[in-house]
Structure 1
Amino acid sequence: MTEAVRVLVVDDEALVRHALRAFLTSDDRVTLVGEASDGSEVIEACKRSSPDVILMDIKMRDIGGVEATRRVLEWNPRCRVVALTTFTTEWRALEVLRAGACGYLVKNSTPDEIIAAVVAAHAGDRVVSPEIQSRFVRAAIDSGDVGKTHAPVLSDREHQVIELIAQGLSNAEIAQELHYAEGTVKADIRRINHAWGVENRLQIVLRATEFGIISI
């Protein structure tokens, strides 16, 4: 059996921590190893609990999630940080992603979506809420650059994978949808990354929009 992903929750709202605790402790895929109520507590909490993934609020009273993310990754670059926030503006997402976070979820995400994102982040994926992806894509469209460049040739299956990535599906969900092994989906994504010179799922969506392959 796969070992459960160790999760640390960082949020200054006690009610949010309580809600996250309720479903993180009821799913075998994850184990809640600690909580912190401010960014200033993150490093000590990490030392105590050795998390694989941190669910990080952005706006906190003392040290916010962006700075806390930088500190965590300076201390342990292997730790994965997923922002979990009420903010839905693309500039907020870019700020924390540039600080090193591997994911950005809005707090109206379902428990299943949050847990799936934690598992995906631990596996090395980037995870971004579909509504945030849509905002990035809209910004790309509004810039007027969409369709001005030509996409390298991809297979029909790779095009299907791109469309499902744009819908926010995880690798496992894409594999189920297309009736392929998850390893096949991962290999397709590696080929897309190489062909397009990108590094993660969000960049795939942005590039696909740029090439006029998808529209959101």
Structure 2
Amino acid sequence: MIRVLLVDDQPLIRTGLRMLCEAEPDVTVVGEADNGRDATTLAARLTPDVIVMDLRMPGVDGITATSRILAARPATRIVVLTTFGDDDHLYPALAAGACGFLLKDAPPTELLDGIRRAAAGDSPFSQDVLHRLVQRAVAAQGGEPRRIPGLTARERDVLDLVAEGLSNTEIGDRLHIGVTTVKTHVTSLMSKTGSPNRVRLALYARSA
């Protein structure tokens, strides 16, 4: 069971998120907070697996709360859920340690998939956000191709799909292989490319 803490200053948003999560057999909401200060306190007391974190809140904002929570509990997975997908919100959230960044206009299935992916150690990002990160990385490096030595043909296939922002399940469906096999390939690719997480791996792939 994935234990989730919801953090958003709008009661209607939290209610909708709770209903969405609790309709799933593998997700349970262990608490709610409407500001970053209470989120930090509840994270320490409730030890959630995943925190769904808004950014703009009164008092302590989501970025500050993310930094504080991860300083105390580094294993916590924090997924930002916000209306604002611009760079002024994205990069500070990543710098604070958020493992994912989703937009509030995303389909409910994308949020649920994001929670599950975060709990499994993955990095869920809205497609538009991931593509922008990749494009910026490519532009910064001038788009010059690099060789990635030592990859098998299957690893190259998986790497191409990671670069498109596909989840492990989607990659498995596309390549007709099991999710466990996909995870094994992704882990190997991260090791071979020196990428600390899936987003860095996608950036590496698109700039390689």
**Structure 1 length-normalised TM:** 0.89
- 1:69 correspondence with 2:66: yes
Gaps of 5+ in 1: 212-216
CA contact (8 A) 1:90 1:132 kept: no
Specify the alignment match of 2:47 in structure 1. Answer: 50
Gaps of 5+ in 2: none
TM-superposed deviation, 1:44: 2.5
Pairs within 5 Å for 1:70-149: 70-149=67-146
| SS of aligned partner of 2:15 | helix
- 1:206 correspondence with 2:203: yes
Matched residues in 2 for 1:154 and 1:196: separation? 10
Matched residues in 1 for 2:59 and 2:27: separation? 28
| SS of aligned partner of 2:52 | strand
Summarize deviations over 1:166-208 as a string: whole Å, max 9, x none: 3332212322322212221111112211221112121122111
Pairs within 5 Å for 1:151-190: 151-190=148-187
CA contact (8 A) 1:6 1:52 kept: yes
CA contact (8 A) 1:40 1:62 kept: yes
Dislocated runs of 4+, deviation >4 Å: none
TM-superposed deviation, 1:45: 2.0
CA contact (8 A) 1:85 1:107 kept: yes
Quick one: which amino acid aligns to residue 70 of structure 1? S
Summarize deviations over 1:113-166 as a string: whole Å, max 9, x none: 111111111111122111111111221233252125333242232222123223
Quick one: which amino acid aligns to residue 176 of structure 1? D
**Structure 2 length-normalised TM:** 0.92
Cα RMSD of the aligned pairs, angstroms, is 1.7
Q: How many residues align?
A: 208
CA contact (8 A) 1:8 1:33 kept: yes
